[in-house]
Chains A and B, each alone.
Chain A
Amino acid sequence: MMKAYLSRRYRLSASHRLHTEQFSPEQNRAVYGKCNHPHGHGHNYTVEVMVSGPVDPVTGMVCNLSDLDGFMQKRVVNRFDHANLNLDPSFATLVPTTENLCMEIYKVISAGLARVKLEKVRVEETSNNFFEYAGHRQNERQ
């Protein structure tokens, strides 16, 4: 059966502050710069999800978009949109950088989305900054 890759983009707006208790205030300012300003700031994030699988010979689909949209809305957009990322339980001890947000979203999708393979999650923080996570690929390049 022919394998195709399907990608879909979602949007969410959230605030965050990059700060870790493991650094002194000076170290936090030195490492995170203006992202360490005490009251936080926000971004319009774009989350791009790539899944893959055989194209169903009847429907012509890798997966039903309304299922993917429903899952993403319920488990990702509703959770992070118009929220303060620092207050999300997953960032209680983890700095809500876009790298960590990308990995958290990957974890949620790979644990919860059935019937298709998650290939990659890409999170764009601004139009100039984006991060991608494709899971652990232990056997690659060995």
Chain B
Amino acid sequence: MVLLTRKAEFSAAHYYYIDAWSQQENEKVFGKCANRNGHGHNYTLEVTVAGEIDPVSGFVVDLKALKDVIEREVIQVYDHRHLNLEVPEFRAVVPTTENIAIAIWKRLESRIAGARLQRVRVYEMPDLFADYCGE
């Protein structure tokens, strides 16, 4: 089995806020991320797939196909958008880095031809990232 990782980038706005909580509670738990005016990040996405090397092509997956599926399912939906306001899965779910990794996993899991999705890693900043492996 061989692992193959493809990177992609998107830039998006978000805030962390739970409507059922008071302003004070939101600020206590989420700090400056609770500001309803939102803020943004340049995210880096790493998608790792696992599979056997095709003896003829030498590929684990067709890289172009993987790039296209990431572009279509994730980048076109998330890039230059407000995650809370414009991306359906975050209407009622806080768009933390952890939840973004889980949401991207769900978007990609059944759409990768010929290989198994192994890990989704989302960098919110170079010093902070979350991994989801379907566990």
Contacts and interface: CB of A to CB of B under 8 A. Distances in A.
A pairs with B? yes
Interface of A: 2-10, 50, 55, 58-62, 64-66
B125 to A, nearest CB: 9
Interface of B: 16, 18, 29-31, 93-99, 101-102, 126-133, 135
Contacts, number: 59
The B interface, classified by DSSP as helix, strand, loop or mixed, is mixed
B95 A4 contact: no
A9 B29 contact: no
Contacts of A3: 132-133, 135
B127 A9 contact: yes
A8 B102 contact: no
A6 B29 contact: no
Nearest to A53: B98
B18 A58 contact: yes
A2 B132 contact: yes
B102 A5 contact: no
Contact of A55 (B95, B102, B129): B102
Per CB-CB distance, the 5 closest pairs between chain A and chain B, nearest first, are A60-B94, A5-B131, A60-B96, A9-B127, A3-B135
B127 A55 contact: no
Contacts of A60: 16, 93-96, 98-99
30 contacts: A2-B102, A2-B132, A3-B132, A4-B102, A5-B133, A6-B98, A6-B128, A6-B129, A6-B131, A7-B128, A7-B129, A7-B130, A9-B126, A9-B127, A9-B128, A55-B96, A55-B98, A58-B18, A59-B29, A59-B30, A59-B94, A59-B96, A60-B93, A60-B96, A60-B98, A60-B99, A61-B96, A64-B29, A65-B128, A66-B31
